[in-house]
Structure 1
Amino acid sequence: MADTPTPTPTPTLTDAFERERGRLRAVALRMLGSHADAEDVVQEAWLRLSRQDAAEIGNLAGWLTIVVGRLSLDVLRTRQTHPVASSTEAEERMLIVLDEAPAPDEDAVLADAVGTALLVVLDSLAPSERLAFVLHDLFAVSFDEIGRIIGKSADAAKMTASRARRKVRAGGRVPPAAGAREQRAAVDAFLAAAREGDFEALLRVLDPAVKLDFETAEGKVVLLGATEVAAGARRAAGAASRGVAVYVDGLPGIAAFGPDGRVISVMAFTVEGGRIVGMHGVTDPARLAAVEVLGAA
């Protein structure tokens, strides 16, 4: 007996799924921290939708979010049972979030700072904790829906998310609201001084022992000390004027985009005590190919 063919989805259903694809991929990527796993989960969600009677789905976006959440939870549980080394992808991954708010509050910082650094903390969470944190704090999924995914009541799901949130903050990867504003202010002051060629202003915002490392196609460039970094910033003032404010793996930074929307350069800043102590830049196309940009139109 021949296998029953998979029903061919209607164009309307296909279009509806494609409108959700970017958001679903972002959910899966933040849940799993792996581009390959995220793509697999989204593709599986599409296959399940194609076999579903669309008339029975009242809220397509919500239905797909629950399906992706359950699939991601299965992947996380499988990892716990059968760990798979993924250090190469983790090292290459870079998450850029457009900074559309001049002074992000604590929840916004917590939601947006899910880059490589925070993934280290997320990896320490139980699968249900990670799912509850990501879906609620990052994507505003209700605790009722989260409870359905993890097999708990809404109140229990809320407690799970709270426990995960405490662990994430305790991991030291997310600055408090005041710290986030202070960091962005220091970066803005540095960029303004660079654009104006104000050497003294650059020295005021740079820590005397600041270190800048830059990944280029030709190799890595390193500058040490405020004088060297300030001089380099004045020479690169044009690049600073073309950058837009972003968060790079949870750190304040700037990124420049080409006409096709791809990232052509990125710079992340580490700020302590109101001064910049570290800067990490990338223009290497091979390295930038691993960049994920969230918040783009």
Structure 2
Amino acid sequence: MTLADAFESHRDRLRAVAYRMLGSHADAEDVVQEAWLRLSRQEPGTIDNLGGWLTTVVGRISLDVLRSGRTRPEVSYDDGPEYTVTLDDAPAPEDLAAIGDSVGIALLTVLDSLRPDERLAFVLHDVFAVPFAEVGPILGKSADATKMLASRARRKVQGAQRPASPDRRQREVVQAFLAAARDGHFERLLEVLHPEVKLTAHTPDGTFVTLGATEVATRARVGAAAAHGHPATANGLPAILSWTPEGTPLSLLVFTVTDDRITEITARVDPAELARMDLPGRV
């Protein structure tokens, strides 16, 4: 195996480490590329554990970037919010570190509140299971001091307030709306829609806004296929996530319910946009 092939076998993990440290795909790619450049300058046969060596290098470069404040914020693909989506019957992790490789925007937001050394200790140890004895030298600290940093970071992460979950009544209202849409019951749709409900649809052709219960109910009946999906929670709001038969995300519907009426619906049905979101896989 060539050096380049060996590096490529570690690229995905290195990119994941850098992204969780920096919260930016662009910065993560830069860090991984710098790690490759440093590796290519090493004398052959001088590295016994390539994976550990590369993880250390990526950790050090990421730490330098954090300390220098040179991170670049992610550029949103539109003006809408980022969503943290979980399926309603999926078990909630006991702590955010358990999300592991599927870590999303919520954990990254919490990590932003950590000091660079806390963030490195937490990410490498709790998310990627790097021993404290290996994390310590990156920070210039002992294993015990590094363990204390990770423990402090863990308390901050666990103490971060999670988004509130929709209550049972909100879910019942959404389910009533979806059932009426699938069955084509116009009157039932009007019963659960607020008279001034707003529907915002993000499609491949652009963003379209529909106002009023009658107009939204009409569109709901026409687009009932998108209502077939799995109950989910998106940023604390009731949602429905659906997939194609091949398992590709098809649509994400997010609902705002006030006083037993749906006041707002956000429909994301642009395949390119959905592909960029960190969405759960098909169940």
Same fold (TM over 0.5): yes
Q: Is the 8 Å Cα contact of residues 264 and 285 (structure 1) preserved in structure 2?
A: yes
Higher CA-based Rg: 2
- For residue 18 of structure 1, the aligned residue among 8, 14, 35 is 8
Q: Is the 8 Å Cα contact of residues 227 and 240 (structure 2) preserved in structure 1?
A: no
Q: TM-score when scaled to structure 1?
A: 0.64
Partner secondary structure for residue 123 of structure 2: helix
Q: Is the 8 Å Cα contact of residues 28 and 42 (structure 1) preserved in structure 2?
A: yes
Equivalent runs, 1:1-297 vs 2, <5 Å: 11=2, 13-53=3-43, 55-79=45-69, 86=73, 88-89=75-76, 102-107=90-95, 111=99, 112-115=102-105, 117-172=106-161, 174=162, 194=178, 197=182, 213-221=200-208, 236-239=223-226, 241=228, 254=241, 256=243, 265-267=251-253, 280-284=266-270, 287-288=273-274, 290-291=276-277
Q: Would the alpha carbon gap of residues 290 and 69 (structure 1) be closer, same or farther in structure 2, given more than 3 Å must change?
A: same
Of the structure 1 ranges 216-225 and 22-31, higher mean CA displacement relative to structure 2 is found in: 216-225
Determine the C-alpha separation between the residues in 1 that align with 2:203 and 2:53. 43
User: Cα offset for 1:285?
Assistant: 5.5
Partner secondary structure for residue 73 of structure 1: helix
How many correspondences in the alignment? 275
Determine the C-alpha separation between the residues in 2 that align with 1:150 and 1:136. 13
Determine the C-alpha separation between the residues in 1 that align with 2:281 and 2:109. 22
Q: Would the alpha carbon gap of residues 227 and 120 (structure 1) be closer, same or farther in structure 2, given more than 3 Å must change?
A: farther
Q: Is the 8 Å Cα contact of residues 213 and 279 (structure 1) preserved in structure 2?
A: yes
Deviations 1:165-209 (A, max 9, x none): 22233332x36xxx88x88xx97996798479478x999x999x9
The alignment yields a C-alpha RMSD, in angstroms, of: 4.9
User: Cα offset for 1:52?
Assistant: 2.3
Task: Structure 1: give runs of 5+ residues left out of the alignment.
Answer: 1-9
User: Cα offset for 1:216?
Assistant: 2.4
1 or 2 for the larger relative contact order (CA 8 Å, sep ≥6)?
A: 1
Q: Sequence identity, in percent?
A: 51
Q: Would the alpha carbon gap of residues 32 and 109 (structure 1) be closer, same or farther in structure 2, given more than 3 Å must change?
A: closer
User: Cα offset for 1:214?
Assistant: 3.5
Q: TM-score when scaled to structure 2?
A: 0.66
Determine the C-alpha separation between the residues in 2 that align with 1:97 and 1:55. 45
The one-letter code matched in structure 2 to 1:24 is L
The one-letter code matched in structure 2 to 1:155 is D
Partner secondary structure for residue 45 of structure 2: helix
Q: Is the 8 Å Cα contact of residues 201 and 207 (structure 2) preserved in structure 1?
A: yes
Partner secondary structure for residue 95 of structure 2: helix
The one-letter code matched in structure 2 to 1:103 is P
Partner secondary structure for residue 56 of structure 1: coil
User: Cα offset for 1:27?
Assistant: 1.5
User: Cα offset for 1:62?
Assistant: 2.1
User: Cα offset for 1:60?
Assistant: 2.1
Determine the C-alpha separation between the residues in 2 that align with 1:289 and 1:194. 24
Deviations 1:220-268 (A, max 9, x none): 4557899998886665453354x67988789886364697x87554456
Task: Structure 2: give runs of 5+ residues left out of the alignment.
Answer: none
Q: Would the alpha carbon gap of residues 113 and 41 (structure 1) be closer, same or farther in structure 2, given more than 3 Å must change?
A: closer
